[in-house]
Amino acid sequence: EPEVTQTPSHQVTQMGQEVILRCVPISNHLYFYWYRQILGQKVEFLVSFYNNEISEKSEIFDDQFSVERPDGSNFTLKIRSTKLEDSAMYFCASSETRGRGLEQYFGPGTRLTVT
Amino acid sequence: GQQLNQSPQSMFIQEGEDVSMNCTSSSIFNTWLWYKQDPGEGPVLLIALYKAGELTSNGRLTAQFGITRKDSFLNISASIPSDVGIYFCAGQGVYGGSQGNLIFGKGTKLSVKP
């Protein structure tokens, strides 16, 4: 069964450093998303991406964040200058369509630890 | 913004028991999804609901999209040890800007009674 994959599974970085989290969405999916989950809390939406541009972003997704689809398979989230409060699990998700086909499938996540 | 209230926050089960949990909102949702999350893993989609009143089953799981479009419940029948985990409801709103992103509840943690 096709699945969303993410790398790395765990990333440790120092405050102020740049990190890139990588995702490979399900191959026939057209919509891509990033969510984050701070330890013990609910999953929060960051950004959605379709047709090589951002569709929607939350207030969490500020100028420090960016997303990119550098090739036909990868989808990346970049945090330019990490802060302690960026420590969280970051989940990539993809869906085939929006609206009635809104079934988002999540990857296993990347645990980001900022020290 | 739109918020989901999920209850109970936690519950303890014994194998064989039926389980029920629900989500409510003060505003209307177009779509309700139920996910299960195991520790250190991503949410796994269990059931998707698209129409008010819709009742959908997936094995021992049954979920319903409330008639008012402001609530949904998930039932698990004859629970087994592997049902342990955190269950999240998630909804897609109707208003502009919410055309894809999901709003998650805080989760119901299912544990096994000692």
Amino acid symbol at A62: D
Q: Which of A31, A100, A111 sits opposite B100 (nearest CB)?
A: A31
Q: What is the rounded CA–CA span in Å between residue A28 and residue B114?
A: 44
Span B11-28, mean pLDDT?
Answer: 93
Q: Which residues of A touch B44 (CB under 8 A)?
A: 106
User: Contact B44/A106, CB-based, under 8 Å?
Assistant: yes
The predicted pLDDT at position B34 comes to: 96
Q: Which residues of A touch B106 (CB under 8 A)?
A: 41-42
Q: What is the pLDDT of residues B45-99, one digit of tens each?
A: 999 998 999 999 999 999 999 999 999 999 999 999 999 999 999 988 665 444 5
Distance from B9 to chain A by nearest Cα, in Å?
Answer: 12
Q: Which two tokens stand for residue B113?
A: 């009674």
3-class SS letters over chain A: CCCCEEECCEEEECCCCCEEEEEECCCCCCEEEEEEECCCCCCEEEEEEECCEEEEECCCCCCCEEEECCCCCCEEEEECCCCHHHCEEEEEEEECCCHHHCCCEECCCEEEEEC
Q: What is the rounded CA–CA span in Å between residue B101 and residue B90?
A: 10
CB–CB contacts below 8 A, A to B? 66
User: Contact A42/B88, CB-based, under 8 Å?
Assistant: yes
User: Contact B92/A102, CB-based, under 8 Å?
Assistant: yes
SS3 call for B81: helix
SS3 call for B82: helix
Name the residue in chain B with its Cα closest to that of A59.
Answer: B1
pLDDT digit string (tens) for chain A, length 115 residues: 789 999 999 999 999 999 999 999 999 898 999 999 999 899 999 999 988 999 889 999 999 999 999 888 899 999 999 999 999 999 999 988 765 557 889 999 999 999 9
| Beta pairing partners, A97 | none
Position B38 pLDDT exceeds 50: yes
